Amino acid sequence: MSRPISAPRGIRDLLPEDGPAWSRVEGIARDLSARYAFDRIETPLFERIELFSRGLGESSDAVEKEMFRVSGAAGSEEERAEWALRPEPTAGIVRAYLEHGMHVRPGPQRLWMIGPMFRYDRPQAGRFRQFVQWDVEVIGDPGPMVDAEIIELGHRFYAEAGVGEVVAYLNSIGDATCRPGYRDALVDYFAAHEDRLTDDSRRRLRVNPLRVLDDKDLDPELAAGAPRSLDHLCDACRAHFAAVQALLDDLGVRYEIDHRLVRGLDYYTRTTFEFYVAGRRGQQQALGGGGRYDGLVELLGGPDTPGIGFGIGIDRTVLAAAEQGVAAAADAPLLVVVGADPDALSPRLKVAAALRGAGLRVRVDGSERKLGKQLESAAKLGARYAILVDPQLSLERVILRDLKASEQREIALDEVAASVR
Ligand code: HAM
């Protein structure tokens, strides 16, 4: 026997026992996407690397450290270096938005998708190299109402998923008018305390000073004294943020201001937010996050267009719901079609097809084993009923056996559905 092959590190197989919990949570995301009037979009799993380096920023972790490069089977070095698995969906959605001229369609575009993302990060509890995000984006709406609408949507999702109390941490990081001033203030402050910074922060200070605030090893005292973006907002950004908060207050959505919430991707402007289970703030604990990206469409070659959205981690949501003991609804009862005649497979398959056509959940036993063995297997599979195809009867009639009660009766095939529901 040859050596079994194991999965790459940092990925997870979704096994049959995981299916119901995933389907439940994904079902809530799909349903809410419809209720909040979002339209579905799908973009490819891989894109040109340039889309990510330009869109998310060269200095973001997703681009600098975590890119999964994809190479063609053959081709020049240059061609091989061109692609990467998507670390997040927003850049690809904006690319598609521009490529398909969606900016000339009426109204803001409200788009959603669910799919796998890839980040070549160090695997840990809650941090995977392939993970699933539910993503929503509104492109072409300057807000602030839509900011509150999106955050309320996130809250509703977690409530319906049953992950316990969730807090949205909220900040505003300004725009092209006020960010440069804030950036300078941060550089002045941290440069004066450079000896207290980690190596990583010292590097961040040069390429992207806001991200020093994101350093988990930042000296807490230093962090507490750092300039706050809310104190540096221009009038327009300040008014926008005040309106977002007032709308959230009116909606009764729970949020807390977090002055260090700058987010890890460079495209953000103004409103930024992250969702956590109350009291569970930490690395790898964010259940979701997002914000406004008013410069991204233009950065990717389009007209000046505002945007906002979030990405919610489905893996982490499923784990959090499981911790709360939320159970998925049971599947529909299982029926197994068995046959007394070991040679007659066609009648079994026909009966199974008819029952499936009537909407039932059906397996069919194609073995030549004795009837008793087939019934035993059906019970082991957890089936509630067996349908016996009896060679003495026409195919319009079958025997319905209740495997729990060990009772059976002859019944018309087209009456089975009504009697087992
Ligand atoms: P993000 O904060 O990088 O944002 O990711 C969103 C969520 O995806 C995280 O809060 C987390 O739940 C989940 N997630 C991220 N990385 C991993 C991982 N390695 N393993 C498991 N789960 C993970 C974005 O991706 C932005 N595109 C969100 C957005 C949309 N902003 C505007 N529109």
Q: For residue 240, is pLDDT > 90?
A: yes
Ligand 1 atom nearest to 313, measured from its CA: 12
Q: How confident is the model at residue 61 (pLDDT cuts 50, 70, 90)?
A: confident
Distance 174 CA to ligand 1 centre (A): 21
Q: Tell which one of 68, 117, 270 to mutate to probe ligand 1, the residue whose CB is within 8 A of the most ligand atoms.
A: 117
Higher pLDDT, 153 or 390: 153
Distance 248 CA to ligand 1 centre (A): 22
Q: For residue 81, is pLDDT > 70?
A: no
Which residues surround ligand 1 with Cβ inside 6 Å?
88-90, 119, 121, 127-128, 131, 133, 135, 137, 264, 286-291, 293, 309-311, 313, 315-316
Q: Kindly report the protein residue whose alpha carbon is nearest to atom 33 of ligand 1.
A: 309
Q: What sections of 132-198 are H helices per DSSP?
A: 145-161, 179-192
Q: 92: burial class by Cβ within 10 Å (0-12, 13-18, 19+)?
A: buried
Distance 404 CA to ligand 1 centre (A): 46
Distance 313 CA to ligand 1 centre (A): 6
Q: For residue 76, is pLDDT > 70?
A: no
- Write down the pTM of the prediction: 0.93
User: What size, in residues, is the chain?
Assistant: 421
pLDDT of residue 421: 80
Residue 408, CA distances (Å) to 115, 388, 399 in order: 45, 9, 7
Residue 105, CA distances (Å) to 108, 110, 292, 380, 398 in order: 8, 11, 21, 55, 56
**Segment 2-11, tens digit of pLDDT:** 899 999 999 9
Q: How confident is the model at residue 387 (pLDDT cuts 50, 70, 90)?
A: very high
**Segment 338-385, tens digit of pLDDT:** 998 877 899 999 999 999 999 999 999 999 999 999 999 999 999 999
Distance 303 CA to ligand 1 centre (A): 26
